[in-house]
């Protein structure tokens, strides 16, 4: 095998996963924090890279205070990034792009080149035992909604890590 081909295979030893919600201030950053910590706990942190983005994000916003409170309560490290929108480069850079709900998945499908649609899935497709497909948006609710989101993310990320 030529040296150049071998090098490009070795570069893809890391799997890149993008978690996507609408504004990138609660669900996707929470899922990203869970994914990073669970991958690290399993000794797979060097093999997996996680990031988050939003289909309708206003870049630069901080993590929602309630999401922060729930993550800290459950001893997750807080994401250090601010919100950002999904970019055209994300469809090339990431191996797997996981949407929190059908609306976000549809937005991603409209933006994504058809040849890359195989990268798009719902996060909860990795947790069929839950009997639901969407991570509900807790933004307009109370703290209990953020707790529910965390529980759904933990279950789905655990399932995803078994398959990726």
What is the residue-averaged pLDDT of the chain? Answer: 93
In whole angstroms, what is the distance from residue 21 CA to residue 58 CA?
Answer: 12
pLDDT band at 12 (very low <50, low <70, confident <90, very high): low
Task: Record the pTM.
Answer: 0.91
In whole angstroms, what is the distance from residue 27 CA to residue 119 CA?
Answer: 19
Res 81: pLDDT: 83
pLDDT band at 123 (very low <50, low <70, confident <90, very high): very high
In whole angstroms, what is the distance from residue 143 CA to residue 151 CA?
Answer: 13
Tokens of 4: 């150049």
pLDDT band at 6 (very low <50, low <70, confident <90, very high): very low
Res 9: pLDDT: 32
pLDDT tens per residue across span 62-121: 999 999 999 999 999 998 889 999 999 999 999 999 999 999 999 999 999 999 999 999
Question: Is 21 among the residues known to form the active site?
Answer: yes
Domain 13-163 sits in which CATH superfamily? Response regulator (3.40.50.2300)
* Straight-line distance from the first to the last Cα atom of the chain, in angstroms, rounded to the nearest whole number: 26
In whole angstroms, what is the distance from residue 148 CA to residue 164 CA?
Answer: 24
Question: Is 11 among the residues known to form the active site?
Answer: no
The yes-or-no verdict on residue 10 having pLDDT over 50 is no
In whole angstroms, what is the distance from residue 158 CA to residue 67 CA?
Answer: 19
Res 80: pLDDT: 84
pLDDT tens per residue across span 51-64: 999 999 988 999 99
Closest by alpha carbon to 151, among 51, 18, 27? 27
Q: Does residue 83 sit in helix, strand or coil?
A: coil
Closest by alpha carbon to 133, among 161, 155, 110? 155
Question: Is 137 among the residues known to form the active site?
Answer: yes
Choosing from 32, 112, 137, 153, the catalytic residue is: 137
Q: Which residue has the higher pLDDT, 79 or 127?
A: 127
Tokens of 41: 């706990």
Choosing from 27, 36, 64, 66, the catalytic residue is: 27
The yes-or-no verdict on residue 11 having pLDDT over 70 is no
Q: Which residue has the higher pLDDT, 133 or 11?
A: 133
Contact yes or no for 15/96 (Cβ under 8 A)? yes
């Amino acid at each position: 095998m030529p040296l150049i081909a071998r090098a490009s295979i070795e570069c893809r030893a890391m799997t890149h996963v993008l978690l996507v919600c609408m504004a990138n201030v609660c669900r996707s950053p929470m899922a990203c924090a869970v994914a990073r910590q669970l991958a690290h706990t399993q000794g797979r942190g060097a093999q997996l890279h996680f990031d988050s983005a939003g289909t309708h994000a206003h870049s630069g916003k901080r993590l929602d205070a309630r999401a922060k409170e729930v993550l800290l309560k459950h001893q997750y490290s807080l994401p250090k990034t601010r919100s950002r929108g999904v970019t055209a480069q994300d469809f090339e850079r990431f191996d797997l792009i996981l949407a929190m709900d059908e609306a976000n998945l549809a937005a991603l499908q409209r933006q994504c080149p058809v040849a890359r649609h195989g990268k798009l899935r719902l996060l909860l497709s990795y947790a069929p035992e839950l009997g639901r497909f969407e991570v509900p948006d807790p933004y307009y609710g109370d703290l209990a909604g953020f707790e529910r989101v965390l529980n759904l993310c933990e279950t789905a990320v655990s399932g995803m890590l078994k398959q990726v």
